[in-house]
Amino acid sequence: MIDSPKLDVKLWVLSEAYYSIDCDYLLSAYLQYPNYAQRPQEDFLKPYFELYLAGRQIAFERGEVVVFAR
């Protein structure tokens, strides 16, 4: 749920644009995170974004997290 109903439609449209940046759902979620009303106080996606900025990519395979260079 978005904080403001007026932002709801605009943010829904931006959701696709955010995903299209790098075809990455977690990056899209990180960019949209501040707009959600029901969210943990701690920005739990920040470490993922920092790895993204460092040129790393993450894969989840067989119960493991694999970090590699893009």
| pLDDT of res. 4 | 58
| pLDDT of res. 13 | 78
Q: CA 32: distance to chain centroid?
A: 7
Residue 12 has pLDDT above 80, yes or no: no
Domain regions of the chain by residue span: 4-67
Report how far apart the first and last C-alpha atoms of the chain are (Å, whole number).
33
Residue 1 has pLDDT above 80, yes or no: no
What's the pLDDT tens digit per position in 25-68?
Answer: 889 888 888 777 788 888 889 999 999 999 999 998 999 999 99
| pLDDT of res. 3 | 55
The strand pairing partners of 36, in sequence order, are 2
pTM of the model: 0.70
